Amino acid sequence: MRALVVDSLGPDYAGVALRDIPTPAPRAGEVLVRVRAASVNFPDLLMTRGEYQMKPPLPFVGGMELAGDVVALGEGVTQFAVSDPVVGGAKLGGFAEFALLPAAAIRRKPDNLSYAEAAAVGAAYLTGYVALVRRARLEPGEWVLVHGAAGGVGLAAVDLAKALGAKVIATSASDDKLKVVADEYAPDAVLNVTRGFREEVKAITGGGADVIYDPVGGDVFDESVRCIAFDGRLLVIGFTSGRIPTIPVNMPLIKGFSVMGVRAGEYGRQFPERGRENMAAVWAMAEAGTIRPRVHAELPLADWRVAFDLLADRKVIGKAIIRPDL
């Protein structure tokens, strides 16, 4: 099978190449899936440089989440049948024509989602759900400020916050991206962060945002501290700006807000039952059409570098999808 293999770690995907490797066979408890769509996430890019917290041994095939069709079942797997359309992931293996996954890591693909849309749900919406529901305990009617709102994780948070009954301010550094977000997801306000945002946020909300969802970090985090409401929750999702910010602890003391770290996968590992509940809730919303993942582009496996660059260069609105079946 053709697969995108990381042979060595380095900048500019220097150690990444398309190769022919043996198609694996499922062992007990495993499922072999013909990959129809694989979502590109920032951790996929970071792993090619050895900059993600998970550092798999070399060589490895990246691709955290995927959708496709079951082609073979390992011993003991009875919940799926050959040809079943499924979605899921296990941190690695999605950027290939076939992927071997534990049966526990996949579920049946909702009929109302395409393979590409289904591949765009898992990581982004699970992060949003853990952040907004489990960590921030978001209440209907509260104001949520979502940074990086055009990216996969940010746009999922906009979509999910609206579905949960919140009032949403979406931010980005691009007016063009904000127009797409406004047209397709109808947040209550949009703001361009390059022109500053704290005074506008305070004016729109009447004092400050109740919840701030920040996958950007850097200067955006610094300014967010100055427009959060008393008893607010500032959710640390990541640092796509490249700078990990710091905060004097007298700020949350004086302003009475909390800074909360969010790692959806680790949350599920620490609280397995809640983790299962989180995933079930996200997929129930997807099946009901309550949330709507956005696919920015679908590209063949041969164009993997284009897909990676779309994400790295901040050109994606939603998710870039690699299609090994094209």
Supply the pLDDT for residue 180: 97
pTM for this predicted structure: 0.94
Supply the pLDDT for residue 194: 94
| Same domain assignment for residues 32 and 106 | yes
Domain membership of residue 59 (yes or no) is yes
CATH number of the structural domain spanning residue 158: 3.40.50.720
Domain membership of residue 299 (yes or no) is yes
- Contact call for residues 66 and 122 (beta carbons, < 8 A): no
| Same domain assignment for residues 143 and 162 | yes
| Same domain assignment for residues 28 and 101 | yes
Domain membership of residue 62 (yes or no) is yes
Domain membership of residue 67 (yes or no) is yes
Supply the pLDDT for residue 200: 98
| Same domain assignment for residues 198 and 309 | no
Domain membership of residue 160 (yes or no) is yes
> Dihedral through CA 156, CA 111, CA 43, CA 267, nearest 10?
70
> H helices within the chain, ranges in order?
42-47, 115-119, 122-129, 152-163, 175-185, 198-205, 218-224, 250-255, 264-270, 272-288, 304-312
| Same domain assignment for residues 177 and 227 | yes
- Give backbone dihedrals phi and psi of 65, rounded to 5 degrees, phi first: -145, 145
| Same domain assignment for residues 177 and 218 | yes
- Contact call for residues 163 and 148 (beta carbons, < 8 A): no
| Same domain assignment for residues 166 and 104 | no
Residuewise pLDDT in 10s, the chain (326 residues): 999 999 999 999 999 999 999 999 999 999 999 999 999 998 999 999 999 888 999 999 999 999 999 999 999 999 999 999 999 987 899 999 999 999 999 999 999 999 999 999 999 999 999 999 999 999 999 999 999 999 999 999 999 999 999 999 999 999 999 999 999 999 999 999 999 999 999 999 999 999 999 999 999 999 999 999 999 999 999 998 989 999 999 999 999 999 999 999 899 999 999 999 999 999 999 999 999 999 999 999 999 999 999 999 989 999 999 999 99
Domain membership of residue 271 (yes or no) is no
| Same domain assignment for residues 132 and 103 | no
Tally of domains within the chain: 2
| Same domain assignment for residues 194 and 64 | no
CATH number of the structural domain spanning residue 53: 3.90.180.10
Domain membership of residue 277 (yes or no) is no
- Contact call for residues 31 and 47 (beta carbons, < 8 A): no
Burial of residue 207, with CB atoms counted within 10 A of its CB: 0-12 exposed, 13-18 middle, 19 or more buried: middle
| Same domain assignment for residues 41 and 156 | no
Domain span at 117: 2-121+293-323
| Same domain assignment for residues 58 and 166 | no
| Same domain assignment for residues 128 and 258 | yes
Domain membership of residue 12 (yes or no) is yes
Supply the pLDDT for residue 176: 96
